[in-house]
Amino acid sequence: MFVHRRDVQIQWGDCDPANIVYYPRYFEMFDDSTSIMFEAAGFSKQDIVHRYGLVGIPMVDTRAKFHIPSTHGDWIAIESRVEAWRRSSFDVRHNVFKGEALAIEAFETRVLVGRDPNNTDKLKSAPVPAEIIARFERG
């Protein structure tokens, strides 16, 4: 299974007045982590959109469990992996570590979306290409 790890330093602008990361900032980091993971696997979001005629890969469900807060200047490691593939969607898990401790467990579901061939004003889910699944399963 393909797992991507990246280190992120918490910036001043990530924090609220209590000097802890304001939770929506983590969701921006998770969104970036998914894009970076796909790029590391050889499939940038732009390539996927253009190659397969998609409009995008929106997040349709997300949640997180926060265990340990982070503050300005802290370094965290975000480990991201695709946990499940379905016809047109997939689940991503992000584990955030502060040192060796698990700080956050985050989950997102994304769907590949293209134009509906019967009505181009509407969007329709699109199947996940087999070559993408194969690359992630190889590791």
Q: What is the 3-state secondary structure (H, E, C) of the chain?
A: CCEEEEEEECCHHHECCCCEECHHHHHHHHHHHHHHHHHHCCCCHHHHHHHCCEEECCEEEEEEEECCCCECCCEEEEEEEEEEECCCEEEEEEEEEECCEEEEEEEEEEECEEEECCEEEEEEECCCCHHHHHHHHHC
- As a whole number of angstroms, the distance between CA 12 and CA 99 comes to 20
Whether 74 is a known active-site residue: answer no
Catalytic residue among 16, 47, 61, 116: 16
Residues annotated as part of the active site: 16
